[in-house]
Amino acid sequence: MTIAIVVIVVLIVSIIIAKSSRQSIKDDAQKQVENYQKELLSRNIISEHQLIHLGGHPYLQVNDKVTLQIKTNNTIHFQKENTNTGEEIPISNLTRYDVKTESQIQSDVTLTRLLALGIFAFGAKKKTKIEDQYLILSYVQNDIDIDCIFKRRFDYQQLGDIASTLNRVKVEINASK
């Protein structure tokens, strides 16, 4: 009987320690996220996203790894080390920003034209049924219509976050008018 009580006490203490440890890890991760967000805001950046350029941007090459920054001055900017990626683009100049799968892109006439011109090509087909997502970003700069296509740099990224952030910024811009 005493052994059973000792075992139960040890199990309870182990569970409490495990929960406490898990909570501590969650708290540390949350603090890191908050610190990162504060650091971004100190640089006037609302959010940053690591992408791979697949085509369309006038100052980027195919497969360039870039950082898309959504800034507090209601612009977006592409960052690439040691490369002039052009000026900041006012969010009001964005004419389109969509997240699409490969099959959705292939059914889009405008983007299919980009494919036909050889600006961008998809890699080998994946054998899984999960389709990768692509960010379609269109804007006007110096009276020129520009259509760009990006894919996520890391599998865990959610490209929908970019569209959501841009929607929020546009709503806030319109509300302040």
pLDDT in tens, 112-158: 555 555 444 555 454 555 578 899 999 999 999 999 999 988 877 78
Selection from 94, 62, 53 nearest residue 76 by Cα: 94
Q: pTM here?
A: 0.69
Element (H, E) at 173: helix 160-175
Q: Among positive and negative, which fits the CA dihedral 72, 74, 78, 82?
A: negative
Q: Mean pLDDT over residues 51-74, rounded?
A: 92
Length of the chain: 177
DSSP per-residue codes, 69-120: EEETTSEEEEE-TT----S-EEGGGEEEEEEEEHHHHHT-HHHHHHHHTTS-
Element (H, E) at 41: helix 2-42
- Which of 5-19, 35-49, 96-110, 159-173 has the highest mean predicted lDDT (pLDDT)? 159-173
Q: How many CA atoms lie within 13 A of 150 on its CB side?
A: 29
Tell me how far apart the alpha carbons of residues 150 and 54 are, in angstroms, rounded to a whole number. 5
Tell me how far apart the alpha carbons of residues 154 and 135 are, in angstroms, rounded to a whole number. 13
What's the DSSP call for residue 123? -
- pLDDT at 53 > cutoff 90: yes
Pull the structure tokens for residue 13.
């203490």
pLDDT averaged over the chain?
81
Residue 49: what pLDDT? 92
Residue 109: what pLDDT? 60
